[in-house]
Amino acid sequence: MKVVNGIENIPTWRERPVLAIGNFDGVHRAHQQLFVQAGLFASNTGGPVVALTFEPHPLNIVRPAAAPERLSLPDEKLRRLREVGVDVTVVAKSTAELLALEPEQFVADVIAKRFHPTHVVEGPNFGFGRGRKGNPQTLRDLAGRFGFEVHIVEPVTLEVDEGDRVMVSSSLVRDLVREGKVHPAALCLGRPYALIGEVVRGHQRGAGLGFPTANVAVADQLVPADGVYAGSVVLDTGAHPAAISIGITPTFGDGRRQIEAHLIDFSGDLYGTTIRVEFGRFLRRQRKFDSPDDLRDQLENDVAVVRDIARSSSALDDADG
């Protein structure tokens, strides 16, 4: 996949592209469905599938207090877009001038002039132009004048909890992650939610209890709710089952929120390396224990549960294979 930084650097297309516009945070199942449809159009027209995305999120410019926390870092988003079949991603710098364009002006000066697409493929909640005043119908109304077709992809819905089905969106995934509902979030994403960060030195209390942990410094991602999770840590050498703790270590009264992962049956020095922490299931809330020995007993139970989950997942993978 080719990455173009800045709409002023867009190349001349050999064949007119199929375009999708959005922030695409998380590249969740609804985004994936959108690019499947874009790929079908592109296979007929011979043009590339092009994603136009924005950095930073436009709300960081127009309403900073309302800007959402990231589900995926920029490099991770690009990797996921490549995996879903995008040929070219154009990363537009979010500026006040760009975001102030009226919808018709955005279509004329950006979509038509810069991209000249055959099709624009979007979801039902697509908004564009100043104050997001443009919507799918606005886009349809303008498309004929500028020589492209518009296709609005049906929403993807899932039953993430018992009850009504809900429409998959980045906002929904953020809400689930904030609540610690990492398994439903994974259903929406089509993969586990993951944090990416550098392993830094901590207090080494886990090692003293017989459960050494990797303390992960996360820069600019949404961190799940405090608690203990079953998951895995992905290294260059592969994935390792892990018990993951998020919170303020109440037993020791440290007061600082930390992300710690105990890699099961792993030994090695991870300090200074960047790791990927994937969340599988919420196990329990954090609580204060009466003594370090009580905490050690609980950690043994946590690790046993993670082992069982890892074995079950491995057995399912083997059956599917």
Write the pLDDT tens digit of every residue in 264-298. Answer: 999 888 999 999 999 999 999 988 887 888 888 89
Structure confidence at residue 237 (pLDDT): 87
Residue 17 pLDDT more than 70? yes
Mean pLDDT of 215-222: 93
Give the CATH number for residue 263.
Answer: 2.40.30.30
Write the pLDDT tens digit of every residue in 124-149. Answer: 999 999 999 999 999 999 999 999 99
158: Cβ contacts below 8 Å, ≥ 6 apart:
29, 165, 166, 168, 184, 187, 188
C-alpha distances (whole Å) from 35 to each of 17, 42, 87, 174, 186 are 13, 10, 11, 21, 19
CB 21 within 8 A of CB 136: no
134 in the same domain as 266: no
Structure confidence at residue 295 (pLDDT): 86
267 in the same domain as 143: no
Q: Exposed e or buried b for every residue in 199-223, given b needs 16+ CB within 10 A?
A: beebeebbeebebbbbbbeeeebbe
Determine, yes or no, domain membership for 270: yes
Please name the residue that has the structure tokens 């600019």: 220
C-alpha distances (whole Å) from 302 to each of 165, 252, 262, 309 are 32, 18, 10, 11
Determine, yes or no, domain membership for 62: yes
205 in the same domain as 64: no
Reported in sequence order, the residue ranges of 159-236 that DSSP labels E, i.e. its strands, are: 166-167, 193-200, 214-217, 227-235
288 in the same domain as 229: yes
134 in the same domain as 251: no
Determine, yes or no, domain membership for 173: no
Mean pLDDT of 193-219: 82
| Average confidence score pLDDT of the chain | 92
231 in the same domain as 146: no
159: Cβ contacts below 8 Å, ≥ 6 apart:
165, 166
Of the pLDDT bands very low, low, confident and very high (cuts 50, 70, 90), residue 198 is very high
122 in the same domain as 200: no
Residue 308 pLDDT more than 70? yes
Determine, yes or no, domain membership for 45: yes
Joined tokens for residue 129: 């132009």
117 in the same domain as 257: no
286 in the same domain as 203: yes
56 in the same domain as 146: yes
Mean pLDDT of 88-103: 97
pTM across the whole model: 0.92
Structure confidence at residue 171 (pLDDT): 96
229: domain range?
193-320
Percent of the chain with pLDDT over 90: 79
If one counts the domains in the chain, the total is 2
In a 3-state reduction of DSSP, which class is residue 150?
A: strand
Distance CA 49, CA 288 (A): 52
Determine, yes or no, domain membership for 174: no
204 in the same domain as 90: no
Q: Which of 99, 133, 156 is the last residue of a domain?
A: 156
Determine, yes or no, domain membership for 295: yes
136 in the same domain as 87: yes
The size of the chain, in residues, is 321
